[in-house]
Amino acid sequence: MTTPIILIHGAFHTGQCWDLLAPRLVERGLEPHPVTLSGHRGNPRAPSEVTMEVWGDDAIKRAEAIGRPCLLLGHSMGGKVISAAAERRPELFSGVIWLTAFAVPYGRTDAHVGPTIITPKMMEALGALEKQPDGSALFPTAMANEVFYNTCTPEIQAFAHQRFSPQPLGAMYEPFETSEARLGSVAKHYIECLQDAAVTIEGQRIQQSYMDFRSVHTLDTDHSPFYCQPAALADAIAAIAAD
């Protein structure tokens, strides 16, 4: 039987960001289940109705539909979503994987991340978000290649831009709680990316100190290995699945 893995995208992306990775996971005996979070393109919902609990529900409902223990992977902002989902329903997940993602210390946590975690270029981009009257925001497309796709080819960068999405802004900064008794009971893994221009490698390693990670895998990639090196990312995920 194949191993199911639920894939949670990061900010300003959708489940389509996994299009190049998914077939490589299948080749390695995994069953990918990409999720587009509520309020993103392809899963519409009013930004005022979107909370971290709603995003956690997106992951939980997919796991319930699959009906057997799943791996749960979150990229970037998706690290908060997988933390929230595994805290509420740890029995659904055989393992949780943070892909250059925001891990959170146990207890009440907020989503603010400062310059020790993210790069100056990412800070600049967040300051330049195109905020919309409905409470959503657009990432400044002109900065995406520098921040998210700095080792991708021009062709892959163009491919990625076609899959960009506005997103609700408030949920990304919403505080929530985790505990060692619940989130801490699930096997946790981290995949770090050395050339990440959004989350510093030092910041990734600071976050690795927040919890007891069973394994850490290192990729020599930018923030988006599912685009620039999908085969290498699939190998890392397959190694975690076999652990």
Give the residue among 81, 227, 85, 98 at the shortest CA–CA distance from 164. Answer: 227
C-alpha atoms less than 13 angstroms from C-alpha of 133 in its C-beta half-sphere: 0
Q: What is the CATH number of the domain that holds 114?
A: 3.40.50.1820
| Interhelix angle 52-66/78-88, nearest 10 degrees | 60
How many domains are contained in the chain? 1
Per-residue pLDDT of the chain (243 residues; tens, 9 = 90+): 799 999 999 999 999 999 999 999 999 999 999 999 999 999 999 999 999 999 999 999 999 999 999 999 999 999 999 999 999 999 999 999 999 999 988 987 665 455 579 999 999 999 999 999 999 999 999 999 999 999 999 999 999 999 999 999 999 888 899 999 999 999 999 999 999 999 999 999 999 999 999 999 999 999 999 999 999 999 999 999 999
C-alpha atoms less than 13 angstroms from C-alpha of 227 in its C-beta half-sphere: 28
pLDDT of 116? 77
Residues 72-89 have pLDDT tens digits of: 999 999 999 999 999 999
In 64-171, DSSP assigns E strands to: 70-75, 93-99, 107-109, 130-131, 136-138, 167-168
This prediction has a pTM of 0.97
Using CA atoms in the order 56, 62, 67, 71, what is the torsion angle rounded to 10 degrees? -70
C-alpha atoms less than 13 angstroms from C-alpha of 143 in its C-beta half-sphere: 19
- Owning domain of residue 40: 3-242
Residues 199-236 have pLDDT tens digits of: 999 999 999 999 999 999 999 999 999 999 999 999 99
pLDDT of 137? 96
